[in-house]
């Protein structure tokens, strides 16, 4: 019943498309009336996210077909299953109401389980029946719910099921509203409008219209032209680095501030009655303070020798174009990974996901300083799946690596927002706990010295650091990606073109797939997401494969291999949009 469990949960995949890309308006200095460039950028984001939504609905329909085809095959092998077993399957399935077999072309009913409309076969075939393959009816309303009939014609038989599809409107609209209220959708806090009919839709210049062929529906998606800025400082919080002989607890009491957290001689202090600049101005010249900075916020950056078999995971051939573009199949002929740990420093990871639970060996929560690394956002789980979902298990997706264990490090909260101090703690913990590769699908334009010190701490201990460049389509350096010790990864699409949202600049090292990427999500789900957040773990996975092939390599040598074997894109040689090009796993492993 695992397939049914995944299917039942996958209906909330629509939430992922809303969380797939974040766009911070303060990078663009908008006024109340955005300029033409802003409108073009907004329309492009709407277009991409509408595509993610349509693809997730297609992913759902594909899973329905896989379940129904499996039922049909099982019953063909053992006709006795048509009795109690089939009833159990239908009763347990939250969205399939009945299953019937007809003899074709006579349309004689052979057996029926569950409930189906009397005219199910007529709803399915308006004209001549299909000889073999899948057929969909037009959506219709039955007992207050939107439904459709789905049929598989095979060997003079047609196997028909009624599927409840009312979830589409319900989940799209409810979860879109939820995401918008959380400030994670589009530019600023723009209002979302998702409709499925011409009568409902309010079409304007930002509207995007997409067709869902299987359902014969049109998806209308738009957003208001409202732009607002987010505060990228934790209110009233300052990170201070004190002299070695100064006790942070005593110092905070003397300075009448609350000590939130400390590690060694670095501490985070808070006074909600003042802003960070006021506090820093007061302490300027204090001989006990070596360095201080606001506690900046950072966000997610939301798109084999051991075996002769290619992955048999159910979504690999149909949806994982990204791994094929990465040329990872050639790399797997060299290695599918090893026991070298890789840290996913993000919003945590879902430890119960069937495609991840066997890969996670340890975890850490930088906010609470404990092992509570459960992901309550979903971003980190999606990133982890791209890197290393359990592969060749006949279910879900394939990961870039098949074997490397995952250290799940939670440094972003339920809104996928963290701060420089928590991220720095997470990087140090991952380093101290054996990570040879750290993935950082997060960032902001603030050059935090506290974070840089943690980056250097990891780099000096030979850790490979991979980070996303950001999703603002700007040249502004994003940290930690722009630190010289880090390999910065931009995003490309399936045509090997730079994603319109991908940040660029001289600090960009390479690019990797980052649009419409299927991966794991909280609650055992599989969803599509887009962003440089999705590009980065492809490269982290490649780094893990390289080290699995030769663990004596230094981090700088791993960087050199990734850069030198990248396939050149854009202008000949290095350029600010593609760096050294798109990563090529097969060539990297050959070198």
CATH of domain 96-164: 3.40.1840
Provide the pairing of β-strand 289-300 with 442-443: antiparallel
Please indicate whether residue 538 is annotated as part of the active site: no
8 Å CB contact between 492 and 508:
no
Q: Which listed residue (346, 355, 375, 472) is catalytic?
A: 346
Please indicate whether residue 379 is annotated as part of the active site: yes
Q: Which listed residue (93, 379, 507, 516) is catalytic?
A: 379
Residue 215: strand pairing partners: none
Average pLDDT across the chain, whole number: 80
Among the residue ranges 6-20, 164-178, 195-209, 498-512, the one predicted with the least confidence is 6-20
Confidence (pLDDT) at 532: 94
One of 3.30.2230.10, 3.40.50.200, 3.40.50.300, 3.30.460.10 is the CATH number of 300-590, namely: 3.40.50.200
Banded model confidence at residue 409, pLDDT cuts 50, 70, 90 = very high
pLDDT digits (tens, 9 = 90+) for 299-317: 665 534 444 458 999 889 8
Domains 96-164 and 300-590 share a fold: no
Helices marked H in 197-285: 248-254, 276-283
Q: Which residue has the higher pLDDT, 174 or 238?
A: 238
One of 3.40.50.12140, 3.30.70.80, 3.40.50.620, 1.10.357.10 is the CATH number of 233-296, namely: 3.30.70.80
Q: How far is CA 239 from CA 258, 270, 274, 420, in A?
A: 12, 9, 14, 9
Average pLDDT over residues 497-511: 95
Confidence (pLDDT) at 116: 84
pLDDT digits (tens, 9 = 90+) for 123-137: 888 766 566 788 888
8 Å CB contact between 551 and 340:
yes
Alpha carbons 214 and 355: distance in angstroms, whole number: 28
Average pLDDT over residues 410-416: 89
Confidence (pLDDT) at 404: 96
Among the residue ranges 76-80, 342-346, 495-499, 546-550, the one predicted with the least confidence is 76-80
Alpha carbons 47 and 207: distance in angstroms, whole number: 8
Please indicate whether residue 245 is annotated as part of the active site: no
Alpha carbons 236 and 242: distance in angstroms, whole number: 18
8 Å CB contact between 289 and 282:
no
pLDDT above 70 (res 225): no
Among the residue ranges 16-25, 148-157, 550-559, the one predicted with the least confidence is 16-25
pLDDT above 90 (res 400): yes
pLDDT above 70 (res 574): yes
Among the residue ranges 61-65, 266-270, 567-571, the one predicted with the least confidence is 61-65
Provide the pairing of β-strand 233-242 with 289-300: antiparallel
pLDDT above 90 (res 486): yes
On the question of a cis peptide bond just before residue 36, with omega within 30 degrees of 0, the verdict is: no
pLDDT above 70 (res 230): no
Q: Which listed residue (533, 536, 538, 548) is catalytic?
A: 533
Confidence (pLDDT) at 474: 92
Q: Which token pair is 519?
A: 């991966």
Domain positions in the chain are: 2-59+169-223, 96-164, 233-296, 300-590
Confidence (pLDDT) at 460: 98
Quote the percentage of the chain above a pLDDT of 70.
77
Confidence (pLDDT) at 374: 95
pLDDT digits (tens, 9 = 90+) for 145-195: 778 888 888 888 888 888 887 655 554 554 343 333 332 222 222 233 444
Give the H/E segment covering residue 492.
strand 487-492
Q: For helices 555-564 and 532-549, give the axis angle rounded to 10 degrees.
A: 110
8 Å CB contact between 513 and 325:
yes
Confidence (pLDDT) at 67: 84
Average pLDDT over residues 62-87: 84
8 Å CB contact between 480 and 424:
no
């Amino acid at each position: 019943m695992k397939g049914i469990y995944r299917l039942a949960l996958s209906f909330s995949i629509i939430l992922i498309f809303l969380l797939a890309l974040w766009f911070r308006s303060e990078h663009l200095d908008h006024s109340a009336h955005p300029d033409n460039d802003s409108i073009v950028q907004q329309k492009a984001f709407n277009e991409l996210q509408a595509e993610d939504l349509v693809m997730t609905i297609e992913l759902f329909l594909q899973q329905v077909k896989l379940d129904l085809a499996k039922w049909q095959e099982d019953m063909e092998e053992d006709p006795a299953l048509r009795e109690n077993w089939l009833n159990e399957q239908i009763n347990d399935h939250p969205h399939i109401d009945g299953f019937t077999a007809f003899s074709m072309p006579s349309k004689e009913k052979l057996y029926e389980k569950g409930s189906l409309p009397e005219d199910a076969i007529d709803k399915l075939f308006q004209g001549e029946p299909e000889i073999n393959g899948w057929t969909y009816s037009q959506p219709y309303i039955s007992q207050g719910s939107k439904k459709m009939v789905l049929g598989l014609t095979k060997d003079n038989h047609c196997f028909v099921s009624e599927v409840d599809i009312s979830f589409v409107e319900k989940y799209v609209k409810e979860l879109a509203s939820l995401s918008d209220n959380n400030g994670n959708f589009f530019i600023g806090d723009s209002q979302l409008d998702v409709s499925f009919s011409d009568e409902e839709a309010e079409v304007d210049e930002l509207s995007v219209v997409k067709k869902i062929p299987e359902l014969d529906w049109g998806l209308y998606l738009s957003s208001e032209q409202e732009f607002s800025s987010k505060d990228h400082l934790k209110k009233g919080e300052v990170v201070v680095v004190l002299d070695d002989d100064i006790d942070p607890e005593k110092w905070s009491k003397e300075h009448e501030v609350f000590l939130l957290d400390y590690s060694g001689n670095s501490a985070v202090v808070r006074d909600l009655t003042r802003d960070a600049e006021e506090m820093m101005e007061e302490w300027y010249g204090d001989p006990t303070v070596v360095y201080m900075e606001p506690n900046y916020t950072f966000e997610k950056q939301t798109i084999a020798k051991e075996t002769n078999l290619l992955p048999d995971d159910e979504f690999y051939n149909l949806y994982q174009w990204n791994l094929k573009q990465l040329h990872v199949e050639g790399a797997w002929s060299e290695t599918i990974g090893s026991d070298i740990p890789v840290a996913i420093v993000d919003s945590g990871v879902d430890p119960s996901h069937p495609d991840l639970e066997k890969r996670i060996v340890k975890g850490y929560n930088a906010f609470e300083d404990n092992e509570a690394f459960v992901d309550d956002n979903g971003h980190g789980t999606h990133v982890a799946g791209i890197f290393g979902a359990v592969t060749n298990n006949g279910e879900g997706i394939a990961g870039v690596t098949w074997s490397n264990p995952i250290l799940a490090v939670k440094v972003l909260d339920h809104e996928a927002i963290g701060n420089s101090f928590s991220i720095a703690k997470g990087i140090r913990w991952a380093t101290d706990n054996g990570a040879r590769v750290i993935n950082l699908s997060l960032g902001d334009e603030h050059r935090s010295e506290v974070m840089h010190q943690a980056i250097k701490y990891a780099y000096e201990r030979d850790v490979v650091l991979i980070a996303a460049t950001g999703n603002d389509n700007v040249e502004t350096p994003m940290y930690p990606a722009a630190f010289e010790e880090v390999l910065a990864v931009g995003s490309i699409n399936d045509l090997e073109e730079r994603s319109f949202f991908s940040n660029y600049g001289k600090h960009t090292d390479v690019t990797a797939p980052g649009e419409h990427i299927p991966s794991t999500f909280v609650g055992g789900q599989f969803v599509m997401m887009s962003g440089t957040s999705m590009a980065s773990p492809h490269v982290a996975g490649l780094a893990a494969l390289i080290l699995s092939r030769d663990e004596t390599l230094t981090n700088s040598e791993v960087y050199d291999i990734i850069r030198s074997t990248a396939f050149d894109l854009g202008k000949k040689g290095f350029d600010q949009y593609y760096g050294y090009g798109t990563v090529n796993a097969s060539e990297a492993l050959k070198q």
